Structure 1
Amino acid sequence: MTKIRIDYRIENGIELYMLVDESATKVDMSGRSIVDLDLESLVKCKNLTELDLTGNWLRTVDLQSLEECPSLERLKIGSNLLSSIQLDPLSHCTNLIFLSLDVNKLNRIDIRPLAQCCQLEELYLQSNNLHEIDLATLSYNSLLRFLRLDNNELYGIDLDPLSHCTRFQELFLEQNKISSIDLHPLARCENLEGLWLRNIGILSIDLLPLKDCNNLLWLDLSENHMKTVDISPLYHCSSLESFMIDETVPLMADIELQNEKWNPVLETYHSRVFWIGK
């Protein structure tokens, strides 16, 4: 069986290499203290479905060779030191399902090449230094289910592209600097299960778009600066298992719903609710 050689250098300057079968479907180079590597030989791995570079010391990585890996489904480059990365080669990886770039030092990223990754389901960009991100490309990723952008420095975000992601399940935005957010695009995400908005700096929020999210299980609005929140739309979220909001935030609800049967999780908040008539 033909072997290919992947050269790399670790943090103390020692040059090493890894031998991989040309027919390999998975290449795992995680946790090797790699500071530099050459992926060029991967052009011969036509059956490669997974590449794992997690937990190294990479400051840069050239993905050009992945253009020749059309079967690639999972690419993991989390927990490195990347400040930027070019994703253009991934436009050829049309079977890509999973991409993780979390726990790096990314201050910018262009995800437009992912428009060709029509099978993409999971995108992890949490714990970076992103100040902004254009999600427009995600309107082409209709199968997307998970998006993590938590623990960044985002000052704003347009969720409109997610309205095209009809299988979308969880959005993580906690620990950012977003002062306002429009949830209306999520009204079309009927499979939404989790919405994590803890400590993002919002002063108010309209929950009406969540009225049709019948599968919503978790909603976290804690550690924000909201003066009041109308929870009436959540009456329709019968599957809700967890609702988190600070005790200091006054809650409102439509008085016509006062005597209706609410989800038990929300009933525990009724003593704090101001029932408002029309």
Structure 2
Amino acid sequence: MESPSLLALALILWFCCYGALSCPVRCTCHFGTQSTETVCPDAALSHYPSNGLPGNTTSLNIQFTNLSSISAQELGATPLLQELHLPGNSLSSLPGDLLTGNQLRELPARVFYHAPLLNLVLKDNRITSVDADWLPFNSNLTWLDLSGNNLKKIPSALLERLSRLETLHLSQNFLETVPAESLHSLRALERLHLEENKLQSLDAKAFSHNSNLTVLFLQKNKLQTLPATVFHRLHRLQYLDLSENQLTFLTPGTLSLGISLVDLTFNPWHCDAKIEYLWKRLNDTPVQSVLRCASPKTLKDKAVADLTPEELGLPE
């Protein structure tokens, strides 16, 4: 019977020999007992080097080529991969599933400097902080998805570099507030996802520089009140979702008449004189769904729009 040491040596030789016979064209493979490095520096390379790529590759370096795309499926062929270097290529975007659903906690500075990305998806990881130096100043990024992470603060320093950003996903994090001007650099922003956070308040100037915003998601937070002017500069806002918060009334003037659709369902509306503004708004411009009183007990479950001035305690 073969000894364990001889068996281990045989396995190492098998991997090395198999790998030595399998290396992509225009690439160089370096085999070790515990690692396999594949380096592809040829400018003529325009496709991911799947053909011949050693399955036991631990480090892959594709540099200064014409590579324009890469998929999670292609990377899946190298399950032992620990390092991926992509400097100086022609990547314009990373697919949504490439870095999604991993265990990323942090990324090094300048990690995306050498790829002129338009879309960056880092959702469903464990990122707790964002380095402003991930992307260069005046980045071309138009779509950033950081949803499903562990962020407690809006990454303002990074956002200052993203003047072309049109869509920002920060949902399913642990954000508690949107400070004044934390989003002030995003003048091209059209869609903002802040749903499913821990938001308890919004600064009155939170969106004062986002005049191109058309869709704003704030549902499933803990908002109890809203500043009267918080949405006043959003002249292009078409859809606003405030459902499943802790709102009991709206300050007069909160909702601009220019907003086409507003979802205010599943808030604990307290139906007394303080709800007059919302009551009038519902009768002038119906919102997406029927709103019902949560209190007082005498009006519980009644439709807000159907209340009488007398029930609200308003003067005749």
Q: TM-score range by the shorter chain?
A: 0.7 to 0.9
In structure 2, the gaps of 5 or more residues are 1-43, 50-56, 297-302
In structure 1, the gaps of 5 or more residues are 7-13, 251-267
> Partners in 1 of 2:180 and 2:70 — Cα distance?
29
> Partners in 2 of 1:225 and 1:35 — Cα distance?
54
CA displacement, residues 229-264 of structure 1 (integer Å, 9 cap, x when unaligned) = 223345664xx66135234368xxxxxxxxxxxxxx
- The structure 1 residue matched to 2:89, chosen from 27, 32, 45, is 45
Alpha-carbon spacing, 1:241–1:111, altered in 2? closer, same or farther (3 Å): same
Task: Decide whether the 8 Å contact of 2:60 with 2:83 is kept in 1.
Answer: no
Please, what is the CA RMSD of the aligned residues? 3.7
Amino acid at match of 2:67: A
* Matched residue, 1:23: 66
Alpha-carbon spacing, 1:55–1:19, altered in 2? closer, same or farther (3 Å): farther
- The structure 1 residue matched to 2:227, chosen from 170, 182, 202, is 182
What's the CA shift for 1:68?
A: 2.6
Q: Which has the higher contact order (CA 8 A, sep 6+)?
A: 1
- The structure 1 residue matched to 2:242, chosen from 197, 216, 236, is 197
Amino acid at match of 2:168: L
Identity over aligned pairs, percent: 20
* Matched residue, 1:257: none
- The structure 2 residue matched to 1:158, chosen from 203, 220, 245, is 203
1:95-114 to structure 2, matched below 5 A, reads 95-114=140-159
Q: Structure 1-normalised TM-score?
A: 0.72
What's the CA shift for 1:43?
A: 2.5
Amino acid at match of 2:309: F
Alpha-carbon spacing, 1:35–1:115, altered in 2? closer, same or farther (3 Å): farther
The answer as to 2:164 corresponding to 1:119 is yes
- The structure 1 residue matched to 2:111, chosen from 65, 90, 94, is 65
Alpha-carbon spacing, 1:156–1:101, altered in 2? closer, same or farther (3 Å): same
Aligned residues: 250
> Partners in 1 of 2:83 and 2:252 — Cα distance?
48
DSSP 3-state at the match of 1:147: strand
* Matched residue, 1:74: 119
Alpha-carbon spacing, 1:36–1:57, altered in 2? closer, same or farther (3 Å): farther
* Matched residue, 2:11: none
CA displacement, residues 154-204 of structure 1 (integer Å, 9 cap, x when unaligned) = 232215141322221222222222332214131221221222222322333
Amino acid at match of 2:162: C
What's the CA shift for 1:42?
A: 2.6
| Greater Rg by CA | 2
Determine which structure has the larger strand proportion and give its number: 1
* Matched residue, 1:92: 137
Task: Decide whether the 8 Å contact of 1:187 with 1:212 is kept in 2.
Answer: no
1:133-152 to structure 2, matched below 5 A, reads 133-134=178-179, 136-152=181-197
Worse-superposed segment, 102-111 or 44-53:
44-53
- The structure 1 residue matched to 2:101, chosen from 55, 64, 70, is 55
